[in-house]
Amino acid sequence: MVLEYCENGNLRNLYLNNFDDNIKLYRLSEIANGLLSIHNAEKVHKDFHSGNILLGLAMFISDLGMCQPANNKEKSDKKEGVYGVLPYMAPEVLRGHQYTKAADIYSFGIIMNEFLSEEIPFNDIPHDHILAVKICKGLRPKISEDIPKFLVDLIMKCWDAKTENRPSAKELYQILKKWDKEDEKLSSEIRTQMDKYNRKIREKTLKNRSNDNKSESIKTHPQAVYTSRFLSFKNLPEPVNSSDLSSFQVNSDDIPSVSANINLNEINQEDDSNLND
């Protein structure tokens, strides 16, 4: 099998190597479109994380070795263990429940926050049973205060503890595609907020230029594992959303919430044939 060589590596390489990237909305919409293609084929990825998103002439979702039919029925409601990278795994999956499209959406939320915050999720703590318990109790990676509120809202919808509250891949793609188009308009509020975000990220990037790349200054806990492995946790609590929103603070002058900007019912009525244009 011959595949295109992705000279820019994976998504994590992109921000760790101090790459000045001001088209993040476009890149996120591309990733959402790739995930949509998987879900439209009635498949689920099951191992969706930033290391599996590759950058060549376009963006590609790779490592489909665990990809399975979305309606695949397990022999029982719960499994003894699962494969994956703990920080990106939905709490219901950690508890052994069947992997669904909504679990891929949870992973997208973690990836989206990582890409915009330019921080590796849970890199400073062990990826063990304690972290799995905390994730089920609502712990999520810290959201950078530099990220505009309209994006923060979407991230939090993606990693909601209740699967029914997460958007579909179709909704994600349409929302991000719409925002990317708004970002192209000089007078749009989204353009204003994204320009502000890009300036702050650029300032941080310039500070890191003294190193060859950002990865050299990051200290990762020896028990933080970012390759897929077998995980089996017992007696995890029922997933809930955290009542502690201190890490989700955003400026009050940011754009209103997702629901105020995007009518998801209207999105669902759009022609599916236009989604992969």
Task: Answer yes or no: is 257 within a domain.
Answer: no
Which two three-digit tokens encode residue 140? 């999520």
Query: Residue 44: what are its φ and ψ, rounded to 5°?
Result: -125, 145
235: alpha, beta or left, given left = phi > 0 and alpha = psi -120 to 50? left
pTM: 0.84
- CB-based contact 251:144 (threshold 8 Å): no
| pLDDT attached to residue 63 | 74
Q: Is residue 252 part of a domain?
A: no
The pLDDT tens digits for 59-81 are: 888 877 666 666 666 544 566 77
The CATH number that applies at residue 26 is 1.10.510.10
Q: Is residue 263 part of a domain?
A: no
Q: What is the pLDDT of residue 9?
A: 84
Q: How far apart are CA 140 and CA 73, in angstroms?
A: 29
In a domain, 15, yes or no: yes
Domain count, the chain: 1
**Integer Rg of the chain from CA:** 18
Active-site residues, by number, are: 47
Range of the domain at 159: 9-69+78-198+221-233
Reported as a single tens digit per residue, the pLDDT across 98-125 is 899 999 999 999 999 999 999 999 999 9
- 159 located within any domain: yes
- Chain Cα centroid distance, residue 197: 18
Question: Is the predicted pLDDT of residue 245 greater than 60, yes or no?
Answer: no
pLDDT at 169 over 90: yes
User: Higher confidence at residue 235 or residue 81?
Assistant: 235
